[in-house]
Amino acid sequence: MPEPTERLDDGGACGEPFNPRFGGSYHGDSGGVERACMVFLAGCDLPAAWGSQAQWRVLETGFGLGLNFLVTWAAWKADLLRPKMLHFVSTDAFPPNAEDVLRSTSDRTNLHPLALQLRAQLWGLLPGVHRLVFEGGHVLLTLCIGDVKAVLQQQHFEADSVYLNGFSPAKNSTVWDVHALKAVARCCRRGTRIAATTLTDKVRDVFSQCGFMVHVTHDTAVKSNCFQGQYNPSWEPKKPACQPFLAPRQPSTAVVVGAGLAGAAIANSLARRGWQVLVLDAANTPASGASGLPAGLLVPHVSPDDSLLSRLSRCGVRMTLQQADALLDHGLDWDHTGVLAHDVDALTGVASALQQPAESAASEWSRTATPAQTAGAGLATGNKALWHAPAGWIKPACLVNAWLGAPGIVWRGNARVATLLPGPQGWQAMDAAGVVLAQANLVVLAAAYGGQALAATVNSAPWALQAVRGQISWGVRKVQHHGLDQAKGQAKDLPNFPVNGHGCLLPAVPGPEGLRWLMGASYERGCDTPFVKQQDHDLNLARLRRLLPQAAELLADEFNAKAVRAWAGIRCATPGRLPAQGCIATTSSGAEVWVCGGMGSRGLTFAGLCAELLAAYLHGEPLPVERRLAKVLMAGVPAAALHP
């Protein structure tokens, strides 16, 4: 639940924001903006220190109302020598209240527009890591909600600047104790600048115990002491053995094989960091494989034990929603409709597991459907159903084309890669005749099921992938009004929103002929040919009868008259039903082959997330998810084979 904030003067809207839990004012003795500029930015020699760098990584303890982030973002925007990517990682035990964040900047014309953008993304902040994206993906806020020690153990990156923020040690000792500062020190390199608001004798001892050399300056503008210093331990700091990073590298050229959701997302994430990316695909247009699906569902997964899949799916859904919002035509290429999940078998226990208080962060993701939502799907009130608010449908090809359209990406079709060989200029991607199609020091295989055979050309350990054929049935909507059957109090048209649970119905997706409905999908393991079968239409109708009996009644004639149309494709799944990515081959000169695949039935959820994770690994950036979740995605690929 967001942290409640009070106002110090008369309880009105303009007083100093005050946190009743810690009994402390958010702004200390001075204005929050002045404090952010003088104590933190100036204390870390910003913006000068980041001038002309490719990336800059700020770590803050104590997000509070987000002012330090907003001020740093504004400084980045105003600086002609700004780094291409600004990472701001901030921890807080409690999520901020979005309205308070906005109110804090109401008298600051330069910060208020940024605060509006921040507020729009401050939702569903459950404990864990949340990646918020601004400035077309060049300013990335990684908000870590939870105890500072625990959340920093779930990160691995080297901060360039550290802001030690938070209430004084007397009010909130946990962010100033030796364990918290050791966790901060683990995220520092020698020379990382640090700025803090507090320095008691005890904290000074803890600082030096953790390797920070700190001195005091008095700032007249903020009428208080500021504390600045550097991470410069007298010993050689040990990095945790589990740190998976290769040395962070400079962007150069990369080849991505596959122009579906996975490949396009990777190309986009790399290009945004300054890489020149060539995307090769066997087909003559992008999104010709599974990503040619006319429209698909973007929806969080829920489970009674909040499984790894559920947690990863929330991170992925948040990321794709941000991308769709920024890049696609709302209502045409995608729609943020919300999705009803009909618990057809009432076996999952999901509905009861999600009886969350209405104002909780969990309920901003998924909550029990209201009677009006259930009736809107033509279901009787007794049916168990969930409402997922951050959900909707997307045309994958639109997202693929938008991602591929970024500067720095070249797409080449009719380029089927048959093998990869190490060469003098990195890995060579060759066709079946042995012609070199492209070469680069970094090759990423995002060719779905086709990636398995390609991976085998560089790594003898098999990459376990499975082809799963699927078919959707679709038609054009005849009734386009949403009248209610007064007698039953239920919709007599198709629902206004997608319904998921036993197959899924997308009731209204704009197409050239009008609004389409789509029902899917069949699931045939081990089949890697996307042919269309009448039998699968029958299966889709049977699914629809269980999922939404009333909608099935409306569409049965079309199915029975064999008037429905079909689209079939091949999903690519891993045994663990989660995507898998990692480096599978490397040469002595450091040229690497990475794979990213196994998107299964959730390419819309996972492609963007996997791409950002891959880029984070390549650049030693903060992770967009907890490390334990990232490791799950890295686990499904063979260990890297070494090539001379």
Ligand X SMILES: Cc1cc2nc3c(=O)[nH]c(=O)nc-3n(C[C@H](O)[C@H](O)[C@H](O)COP(=O)(O)OP(=O)(O)OC[C@H]3O[C@@H](n4cnc5c(N)ncnc54)[C@H](O)[C@@H]3O)c2cc1C
Interface contacts to ligand X, rule CB under 6 A: 257-263, 280-283, 288-291, 293, 296-297, 396, 416-417, 446-448, 450, 454, 470-472, 520-521, 569, 571-572, 597, 599-605
At residue 442, what are phi and psi to the nearest 5 degrees?
Answer: -130, 120
Residues 6+ apart with CB under 8 A from 23: 167, 171
Cβ-based nearer residue to ligand X, 186 or 301? 301
**Which amino acid, one-letter code, is at 375?**
A
Cα–Cα distance, 400 to 323 (Å, whole number) = 11
Cβ-based nearer residue to ligand X, 229 or 598? 598
Could you give the dihedral angle defined by the CA atoms of residues 87, 627, 151 and 138, in that order, rounded to the nearest 10 degrees?
10
**Which amino acid, one-letter code, is at 337?**
T
CB of 622 to ligand X, least distance (A): 25
* Dihedral class, residue 245 (left if φ above 0, else alpha if ψ from -120 to 50, else beta): beta
Cα–Cα distance, 424 to 367 (Å, whole number) = 56
Alpha-carbon distance values, 257 to 446, 492, 569, 595 (Å): 6, 47, 19, 9
Cβ-based nearer residue to ligand X, 117 or 288? 288
Residues 605, 265: contact at Cβ < 8 Å? Answer: no
Alpha-carbon distance values, 635 to 235, 357, 456, 620 (Å): 34, 36, 17, 18
At residue 362, what are phi and psi to the nearest 5 degrees?
Answer: -60, -40
Cβ-based nearer residue to ligand X, 260 or 390? 260
CB of 431 to ligand X, least distance (A): 9
Cβ-based nearer residue to ligand X, 37 or 290? 290
Distance of CA 158 to the CA centre of its chain: 21
Residues 6+ apart with CB under 8 A from 115: 66, 70, 101, 102, 104, 105
CB of 530 to ligand X, least distance (A): 8
The helix or strand, by DSSP H or E, that contains position 515, with its residue range, turns out to be strand 514-520
CB of 583 to ligand X, least distance (A): 18
Residue 546 burial (10 A CB sphere; 0-12, 13-18, 19+): middle
CB of 288 to ligand X, least distance (A): 5
Cβ-based nearer residue to ligand X, 261 or 386? 261
CB of 407 to ligand X, least distance (A): 21
CB of 523 to ligand X, least distance (A): 8
CB of 471 to ligand X, least distance (A): 6
| Cβ count near 109 (within 10 Å) | 8
Tokens 């920093």 -> residue:
152
Cβ-based nearer residue to ligand X, 32 or 263? 263
The helix or strand, by DSSP H or E, that contains position 606, with its residue range, turns out to be helix 603-619
Residues 6+ apart with CB under 8 A from 85: 54, 55, 56, 138, 139, 140, 272, 273, 621
CB of 293 to ligand X, least distance (A): 5
CB of 326 to ligand X, least distance (A): 18
The DSSP secondary-structure symbol of 287 reads S
- Render 475-502 in DSSP notation, one character per residue: EE-S-----EETTTTEESS--SS-EESS
Distance of CA 567 to the CA centre of its chain: 28
Cβ-based nearer residue to ligand X, 256 or 630? 256
Nearest to 84 by CA among 277, 264, 269, 244: 269
CB of 111 to ligand X, least distance (A): 36
Cα–Cα distance, 459 to 641 (Å, whole number) = 6
| Rounded CA Rg of the chain | 26
Cβ-based nearer residue to ligand X, 163 or 403? 403
Cβ-based nearer residue to ligand X, 151 or 519? 519
CB of 607 to ligand X, least distance (A): 6
CB of 560 to ligand X, least distance (A): 22
- Using DSSP bridges, classify how beta strands 442-445 and 466-476 pair: parallel, antiparallel or unpaired: unpaired
Cβ-based nearer residue to ligand X, 71 or 504? 504
CB of 53 to ligand X, least distance (A): 32
Cβ-based nearer residue to ligand X, 303 or 419? 419
